[in-house]
Amino acid sequence: MSGHAEVMRGVVYLPEGDRVVTCSWDKTVRLWDTTTGEEEGEPMEHGVTVDRVAVTKDGKWIVSGGYDGKLKVWEVETHKLVEVWEGHGGWVSSIAISPDGEFVASGDYGGRILIREAKSGGEIRHSIEIGSWVCSLSFSPSGEKIATGHNDNTIRVFDVATADLILGSIKGHERNITSILWSLDGNHLFSGSHDCTIRKWDSDTGDPVGEPWRENDTDGITSLALSPDGTRIASGSFDNTVRFWDADSGSQI
């Protein structure tokens, strides 16, 4: 599927699995049919470089974040811009939507995390100042917690209802954390880093589980994804490869 004029920075499936949404440095968000490979409708013009994109669990809304510090909400079927949410001082570097669709969290390059009420016009429920670039965000399966990964090599976990810090700073990585996600049961966290490792953590204590899963001959991990059944982790790296890992043992498959 080809259409973007610049680097593509994000891709996410709609819930039905027959379409994907992409965002790019060409300042657009686009919708694609995965069967035909054709683009659906006109591009959604964010207006500036778009670095992150997310889709609500019901598949009705797209949220894009760009270098202008704004989140823009689009209707999937019409591609119409519905709302613009402000509050960030600069580049939006991460977006996550809670499992129930009630909250949208976003982080920026300056270290601010905003948690918004999605159904109240993006009203800001909490503003959390970290002071370290927010590279990744992930809601727990229950939606009660949110984990954050930063360029100070640490992980933090916050209570969504109160914005209280529950765990942090969890240390172990030697370079910035590019991706973070939860196990399906919420008992563990997985983090990927530019230090070429994936690490598994106890989400209650922040203690490491086992040894780091180390990639050889790469320049770092850029992204992680958990399989639908929760048994495998896929990792993307700077060496243009994808690797697969057993989520329990950490062995490479």
Q: Domain segments of the chain: what residues?
A: 8-222
Contacts of 143 (CB under 8 A, 6+ apart): 98, 99, 100, 102, 103, 160
Query: 76 vs 38, 58, 66, 173, CA distance in Å?
Result: 16, 10, 18, 38
Of 2, 34, 1, 30, nearest to 15 by C-alpha is: 34
Instruction: Report DSSP state, residue 5.
Output: S
**Is the pLDDT confidence value at 213 over 90?**
yes
**Is the pLDDT confidence value at 17 over 70?**
yes
Confidence of residue 243 (pLDDT cuts 50, 70, 90): confident
Q: Which CATH architecture has domain 8-222?
A: 7 Propeller (2.130)
Residue 53, SS3 per DSSP = strand
What integer is the mean pLDDT of 37-43? 93
Average pLDDT in the chain: 93
Confidence of residue 217 (pLDDT cuts 50, 70, 90): low
Partners of residue 72 on adjacent β-strands:
64, 84
Give the residue carrying structure tokens 């959390």: 128
Query: 53 vs 27, 81, 165, 185, CA distance in Å?
Result: 12, 14, 26, 25
Tell me the per-residue pLDDT of 156-188, one tens digit each, with 9 for 90 and over: 999 999 999 999 899 999 999 999 999 999 999
**Is the pLDDT confidence value at 3 over 90?**
no
Tell me the per-residue pLDDT of 69-119, one tens digit each, with 9 for 90 and over: 999 999 999 999 999 999 998 899 999 999 999 999 999 999 999 999 998
